[in-house]
A and B are shown apart, each in its own frame.
Chain A
Amino acid sequence: MAGQTQRRKRATHEGFLRHRGFLFLKIGTVLCVGVTAAYLFQDQRLPRGGGTLLGYGLGTAGALLIVWLALLGVRKRAVTNGYYSLKAWVSAHVYLGLALIVIGTLHTGFHFGWNVHTLAYGLMMLVITSGAVGVWAYATLPKTLSDNRAEATRKQMLARIRSLDEALLDAAQPLPRIDAEIVRLSLEKTEIAGGYWQRVMQNWDNCANKAAIAQLQPVLAGATGQQAAVLRRVDALMRDKADALAQARKQIHITALLEGWLFVHVPSTFALLAALVAHIVSVFLYW
C-alpha cells in the first residue's frame, strides 16, 4: 500500500521529463559521451562508418533502439499493473530517442549520399525532430490550452458560436436583401477550423465573419433610423462571434500543435522501420 501511495505521489507531481530525477537523461548522456569517445579513439587508419567494429556496434545498438522506441506505440495501448510505468517508458523514449541522434550519426561516419542508407538516416532524424517538437508541445502547450479555455468546454465554445448565429439570423430578419447578404456571409461561409496548415499556422485571415464585419461598416455608417439600430445589433453580434471564433480557433491551433507532430512522427516511424529493414538487408546482401 505504501508503495502504491508513493507511486501515485510521483505520478502527480513529476512529469515524464523529470522522471526519477532525470534518470534517463543521465543514461542517455552517458551513452552519448561513451560512444563519442569510442568514435574518436577508434583506429585512425580505417575509414569511419558502419563497416568498422564500432560501426557495426553502433548500428546494432541503433537498430535495436529504434525498434524499442517504436514499441512505445504498443506499450501505450497495453494496461499493466504499474511496474515499468508508461511514464518511465515515455521518459526513456524521449531521452534515448535523443541519444539516437549521436548513435546514428556516428554510425554513418558522416558519409552521406543518395542511397537507401542515408534515406534511413534522414527518416530517423525526421522522426526524432518531430518527436522533439512533440516533447516541446507536451511540456508547454497544455497550460496554454487550459488558460485559453477559461473554464469553457469545447462543447460550450461551439454552442456559443451557434447561439450567436441564431441571434444573428433573428436580428437580421428586417434587413433588406443587400444587407442580409452580408449577414449570410457570416452565417453560411464561416469555417471554424480549416485544414492542417491553417490550424497549425493560425491562418484565418480569410474568415467570412471577419469579411462580413468589414463589409458591414460602410453600410452601418450610412444607415439611419430603425435600420441603423438593426445593423448595430448585427454588428455587435458579429463581433461577439469573432471573439468566440478567436477563442475556439486558439484552442484548435494549440490542439493542432499538440497533435500535429504525431502526424509526422508516426508515419515517418513506419517509413523508418521499412528503410531500416532495407538498409540492413542490403548491407548484408551485398556485403
Chain B
Amino acid sequence: MTQTILLRTITRQAGGGEIVRTREIGGPDAMIGRGVNCDIALPDLSVDPEHAMLRITGQSRVTIESLTGEPFQMNGKAVLRVELEVARAPVVTFGSYDLLFGQGGEGDISVTVLRHPEPHPAAPSLFSLRTSVFGRRRTAWVTGLTILLLCLVLPLAGGAWINHSRIHPDRQWSSGPLSKAHAFLEKDCQACHQQAFVAVRDTACLSCHQAGDAAATARIDARVLREGSPFLPLLVSDHARHDKLVSATPPPPTLKGKVVSIFQGAMNHPSDRCASCHLEHTSRPVDRNVSATADIVRPGKPALVVVTDCAGCHSRLKMRLPSTGLIDTPDWNRHPEFRPAVNLGFDGPQPRIERVSLASPQLEANGLTFSHRLHMSATGGVARQGQVLGAARGYGSALTCQSCHRPEGGGFKPIEMERDCGACHSLAFAQVGGALQTLRHHDMRDVAGLLRGALAPASPPKVDPAVLRRALAPGGLCVDCHTVRPSAGLLGAEIAPVRLADRLLPWGDFNHGVPAHNGVGKGAAACADCHKAQVSDRANDLLIEGVATCKGCHGRTEHETTAAASGRCGECHSFHAPGQAPRTGQDRLFGVLGLPAGVKPRGIPTF
C-alpha cells in the first residue's frame, strides 16, 4: 500500500481560535520551502525558497534533507539531514514553523504545520519610560532607606558596636574641620559632645583646660597626650566666679539680641558656656575687621567670638553686681587711677592689705627703713662703697636699679638681704677663732635661735643680751634697715614684721622685659620714668606712677609719640589668666625654643 502525506496547516487567529486546512500531497516526496510552489510552504524569510526535501523511505519512516546546505532544527539541534520514525511523533523546525509528524489514518503520514506564537506586539505603554527603567517608587524607598541606614542608624549604632574600630561612622556628622589645636580629637566626637541632645558643656572643656594644682595638671597633661595631642593644653581660670561673671554680663542691647537670648534659653543652649565664645567646626576665620579683644584672630585655635567684651561688663557694673568693689572702666581713656594693693599694717603677723588709690597715696607698712635716694646717689658713701667692692662683685660705681633688682622673666627676682644688701650690710655678730659668725637673715626664727645659742655652730658664743639690746636700740645694727617696735619680751623691743610687696597691681600685668618698658628703643620708658626712686627717702613710699604715665604711650598714635602702643584691655588683662596679659602664639613659640628636648609645649605655638 502506498503511503501518502497528509498536510494539516493550523493558523492561529488574532482574536483566538484556529483555522485548520488539510490537504493530501501526492507522491512520496514533498518540497519544504518558502516558495509558493513548495508542497509545504512556510512563508518565513529564514527559510529558503526550496529549503529541504521530505521523502517517505519506508513504513512510517521519512527522511528530510536540506537542499541548500542551510540547516533546520531537530530537537533544538541544527541538522542537514534526519531520518524520522513518525510513530515517535518527531518535531522538526524550520524558522518559526514546527512540522509535527504523526501517523495518519490508513498508514498515511500526517504532517501538521504550526507557526510559533508571535511575540507580544508592542503596546502603547512602550512610549512610557516606565517600561524601560527601574520603578520609581522602589528606587525611592531603597535610596531613602539606604541613606537613613548609612547616615543615621550606622553612626548611632557605631558607638555601641564598632567603638574600637578604625572606622568612625559618626565623623560624617562633623559640620566642619576642628581647629589645629583640637584636630587630634577629630575622631573622638564624644570627647566634647558628652551628652546626647545637650549642647557642649563647660565640664567637657575644663576636663582638659582647668587650671589646678600640680597633680591635677599632671593628670590632665597625661590624659591629653594619651589622646594624641602634640602639645599640652592651655590651662584657664576665670577672672571671677562664674555666677558673678553671669550676673555682670549685661543683657543684649538690641531687640534681636534679646530674642536670641530667649531662644537660646528655651533651647537649653545657654550663652555663658565656653563654647559660646570659642567656636569649633568653623572652617573660616571670624571676620577680622571686627574690633574685639586683642587675640580675636588666633591661627590654629578655635574661632573666638566675643559675645560681650571687657567694656560691656565693666560699664555700670555695680548696677548688675552690687557687691563689686571694681570701678567702671568703659574704655582705656576712662581707666580709673591705679589702686595698688598696699600693706597698711600688721594684725599680729598678718599684713593688712588694702587697695588704695594713687590719687590719695598712702605709705606702705613694709617694716623696713630704706632710702632709695641715699643708695642711688652718684656721690656719697654708698657710691664709694660700690667702687670699693668693685665690678667683680657686681658693683664698681654708684648703685643702679639692677644692683638690687635683678630681672627675671617679665619681673624681678625677690630681694634677698644677704645677696642684695649683704655686701655692705654685714650680718656678722661675733668672731669665733678668727672667723666671723653671721646671722642667717632670711629666717627670723634662726636669728633668734642663733643668738640664744640654741642652733649651730656647735660651740655657740655666749651672747650678752646687752648686745642684742644695742642692736635693736636706735643706731643699732638692726635699726639701720628694720622698723623696731617695743616689746614686752626680754629685750624690750622687737623687729616689726617685714613684707616686701611682690606686686602692687595684682590684677594687671606689667612686663618689665618688654623693650619699650626697659628703656630700649626710641621713646621707651626707663626705670626712672615710672619709679621716682632717686628722690625717695622712705622705704614705704609707693614708688609707682599713676595710669597717666601709661597713657603717655598706650592709646596714643604714632603721630603723638614714637613709643605709641595699644590701649586695648588685653595689653594688661586677660579673661582666663587673672593678673596676666594674654599670651600670644608668638610668646608660646619663643617658649618652645627654650624647652628641653622631648618636652611638649603648652598651647599651640603659632605666629
Contacts and interface: CB of A to CB of B under 8 A. Distances in A.
B94 to A, nearest CB: 13
A141 interface: no
Given A173-B36, A278-B148, A270 B141 contact: yes
Nearest to A47: B282
Interface string B143-166: 111111001100110000000000
Contact of A278 (B133, B147, B176): B147
Contacts, number: 181
B159 to A, nearest CB: 10
Contacts of A162: 121-122
Given A193-B132, A196-B132, A158 B193 contact: no
Nearest to B282: A47
Contacts of B297: none
B97 to A, nearest CB: 13
Contacts of A278: 147-148, 151-152
B144 A47 contact: no
Contacts of A199: 129, 132
A47 B175 contact: no
Interface in B115-147: 121-124, 126-134, 136-137, 139-141, 143-147
Nearest to A168: B45
B144 A274 contact: yes
B200 A116 contact: no
B530 interface: no
B155 A282 contact: yes
Contacts of B176: 111, 113, 115
B145 A287 contact: no
A20 interface: no
B173 A115 contact: yes
A275 B149 CA distance: 10
Nearest to B303: A47
Interface stretch (A10-18, A201-209, A214-222, A256-264): A256-264
Contacts of A187: 45
A53 B263 contact: yes
A172 interface: yes
Nearest to B154: A278
21 contacts: A44-B287, A45-B287, A49-B175, A51-B279, A113-B175, A116-B173, A119-B172, A154-B124, A174-B49, A268-B143, A269-B140, A270-B144, A274-B144, A274-B145, A274-B151, A275-B147, A282-B151, A282-B152, A282-B170, A285-B197, A287-B200
Interface of A: 43-47, 49-51, 53, 56, 111, 113-117, 119, 153-155, 158, 161-162, 169-170, 172-177, 180-181, 183-184, 187, 192-196, 199, 248, 251-252, 255-256, 259-260, 262-263, 266-271, 273-275, 277-278, 281-287
What are the 6 tightest A-B residue pairs by CB atom distance, in nearest-first order?
Answer: A270-B144, A270-B140, A278-B151, A282-B173, A274-B147, A278-B152
